[in-house]
A = this chain, B = another copy of it.
Amino acid sequence: MPNRLDRVRRQLAEHDANALLISNLPNIRWACGFTGSNGLLLVDPDEAIFVTDGRYTEQARQEVEGAEVLIAKEGLVSRLLDAGQLEGMDRVVFQADHVTVSRYQKLEEHCPEITWIPASGLLTRQVAVKEDREILQIRRAQAVTEAVFDHILDVLEPGKSEREIAAEIIYDHLRRGAEKMAFDPIVASGPNGARPHARPTDRTLQEGDLVVIDMGCILDGYASDMTRTVALGEPSAAAREGYDVVRRAQKQAIEHARAGLTGKELDALARDCIEEAGMKEFFSHGLGHGIGLEVHEWPRASYSVEDELPAGVCVTIEPGVYVPEEEYGVRIEDIVVLRSDGVDNLTSVSKELIIQ
């Protein structure tokens, strides 16, 4: 992990700054290992200081690597000031996309002699490229979600409500050792499936429904994320066709994905396929997103994204179609690691349509 702090330090020259103040907790975890819910990491060319509050005294000392630990009684910034850590500095970079205007005003008030430099997307590229052991951790989180999926197939049946299935998804993740859910699971059946971000309702599953199940957990800090669409009995011809289109689009994207494409190009691999099938209007979101310590990370793979995707990033590949008139939706989602010559797929659950 000290190696990661060096990667943080490389940002100093770019901003011609004395130090970086890291406040986004997943970035702090990535840089120095702290897993609690309050902290600031100050990184200068020679050292790194981590400050948290009294609740985390013991935990910080156990977890933090490569940084000195300070414990604050009042505010975290006050503690840095008291310790003289900001003395003599005149330019400090902060994470503009994670700091509120109120907090920024307080920084300026506390340390009027410092020029506070707002930087957006600081560390996003560093964090996005995963080390092998991080990929292993995502695989492990994903394995829990896949085991849950197997269990859910056993309990998915007409008469149960979307909410009941969602509760079972959460319970089973936790029983299998997940720390928590990465997001509220989606269980969207029949016409509800036609809303891409549906929340589970009291609707009971019906014979003939397609059921979109989108779920992921956090295990040792890393996120999983998987969507499968399951049929309860024989679906309508339209729904079956929609499934096949999404299945083909997802396959095409995974077969041709590789590092070096832009987000837009990766998205197009699936979107073109859906467009050829005449269903373009029903694919109303981007193809996928980066994933790691956060369930949504840079880079997005979407039609408006010109960023090139580097080797080693983990992204979801999740095309979908949402067809209100035909009362169904389909989404299929895997996580892949982009390599220079293709991908490693971290998801092993079959994508053939399951009819049960």
Question: Which residue numbers of A lie inside 8 Å of B, CB to CB?
Answer: 37, 54-55, 94, 96-105, 118, 120, 163-164, 166-168, 170-171, 174-175, 177, 179-180, 184, 195-197, 199, 284
Contacts and interface: CB of A to CB of B under 8 A. Distances in A.
Counted per complex, copies of this chain come to: 2
A82 B41 CA distance: 41
B96 A118 contact: no
Nearest to A175: B167
Contact of A96 (B97, B100, B167, B170): B100
A174 B166 contact: yes
Contacts of A196: 55
Contacts of A96: 100-102, 105
B99 A101 contact: yes
24 contacts: A37-B197, A55-B195, A55-B196, A55-B197, A55-B284, A96-B100, A96-B101, A96-B105, A97-B100, A97-B101, A98-B100, A99-B100, A101-B101, A101-B104, A102-B120, A105-B118, A163-B177, A164-B175, A167-B174, A170-B170, A170-B171, A170-B174, A171-B174, A180-B184
B167 A171 contact: yes
A170 B163 CA distance: 13
A120 to B, nearest CB: 5
Given A105-B118, A164-B175, A170-B171, 17 more contacts: A37-B197, A55-B196, A55-B284, A94-B101, A96-B101, A96-B102, A97-B100, A97-B101, A97-B102, A99-B100, A100-B100, A100-B101, A101-B104, A170-B170, A171-B171, A179-B199, A180-B184
A118 B97 contact: no
Contacts of A105: 96, 118
A143 to B, nearest CB: 18
A166 B179 CA distance: 10
8 nearest A-B residue pairs (beta carbon): A167-B174, A171-B171, A96-B101, A97-B102, A96-B102, A102-B120, A101-B118, A101-B104
A165 B155 CA distance: 22
A97 B55 CA distance: 24
A67 B324 CA distance: 26
A317 B95 CA distance: 35
A163 B179 CA distance: 9
Contacts of A166: 174
Contacts of A284: 54-55
A102 B163 CA distance: 37
A105 B95 CA distance: 13
Contacts of A100: 96-101
Contacts of A103: 97
A27 to B, nearest CB: 14
A40 B161 CA distance: 32
A186 to B, nearest CB: 12
Nearest to A103: B97
A97 B197 CA distance: 27
Nearest to A118: B101
A97 B184 CA distance: 25
Name, among A94, A102, A164, the residue most crowded by chain B CB atoms within 10 Å (CB to CB): A102
Nearest to A171: B171
